[in-house]
Amino acid sequence: MNTSRPELQHVPDAASDHDTNEHASSPNAPAAGNATRIQCDLALWWHANARDLPWRFGRTTPWGVLVSEVMSQQTQMNRVVPYWTAWMRHWPDPEALAAASTAEVITAWGRLGYPRRALRLQECAREVATRYGNRLPRSYDELVALPGIGDYTASAVMSFAFGERIAVIDTNIRRVLSRLFSGEESLGGSTTAKDRDLASRALPEDQAASVTWNEAVMELGALVCTAKSPACQTCPVASDCAFLAAGRPGLGERRTRPRQRFAGTNRQVRGMVLAALRALPADVPILPRAQVAALWPDQVQLDACVASLDEDGLIEIIGDEGIRLPIGRTRQAVAGANADASGTHADVNAAADAGTHTGVDIDAYVPTSQPDATNV
């Protein structure tokens, strides 16, 4: 694992002569010369502009990289940093997280949103601790078989943690590649065979260069080539961008369903219930039924949300007494996670323009494109 910011390297052509000839007639095939120039320009831009996040540049373990990827799904990156820092301080490896109680895990997850991700992450930690000797497996097939880990997270860990050559595909990367090479707006939805083919052919052959490419393209999509307001005037590859050359046709169009309102939804009610439980003092673990009832005026909706939280394993109903966070095997003080990240809120609707990963994994979150985030 590298322990410093990546050095600039020679970037070879993205495809061999055979591949270039084979795809020469395809509008989605990067020309070899352009691809080389784009790779070099993006590598230079990444080296100068990459955000100094604590899990980058070899400063954490592969497990720390995986935790950062899970937390970053559907959540703004700047909001993840304090949670990740507190989380890794309390539970630096899978074995430590596996030993924590469910209540501690949910409390430390705080207001990151989609708390089922936290439970799946703990399941993953238990699997790694018991089956792999507390070390994250190094193969794609083993990673994708872990609880809550799908194609995006497995690929990201293979590239960013282990330095392997593999195409990483999230919403930001799909958008950048589609605009840059195809001249088309990425309309969202599920990742297609066309998306995967383009990502694979654009990936540099050199292993180290491929890691920088994945990081740089993702960062460009988060900071410059955003969904609605791309800063084309500051883009390092604007001169090679087919989308810009075509007049940015269909900018901001989406094929996915319209944004869901947040106010009044079950997601809001479930979040309020969990927030009330996390705010309880350590010596008062149960939220009385009367206080639960006061959280939301629609009692039918409130009861349904409490029942669904119980079914998901996020809370426990204690008869007529009230509700509490699940009791686990150990108890630790994890208030630091909330103190370090107070006032944050994961606004899913802001994800595309706020530097988030939206490549979510299928077994955890159905409505979006790739597998890994889960609903509240």
Burial of 193 (0-12, 13-18, 19+ CB in 10 A): exposed
CA-based radius of gyration for the chain: 22
| Dihedral over alpha carbons 97, 99, 104, 108 (to 10 degrees) | -10
Strands of the sheet with 316-318, listed across from one edge: 286-288, 322-324, 316-318
Cβ contacts of residue 53 below 8 Å, gap of 6+?
A: 68, 77, 81
205 is catalytic: no
22, 69, 127, 321: the catalytic one is 69
Residue located via tokens 């180290």: 208
3-class state of residue 64 by DSSP: helix
Closest CA to 157 of 170, 140, 172: 140
Contact 122, 83 (CB under 8 A): no
Cα separation of 219 and 357, whole Å? Answer: 10
Look at the alpha carbons of 303, 345, 190, 204 in this order and tell me if their dihedral is positive or negative.
negative
Catalytic residues: 69
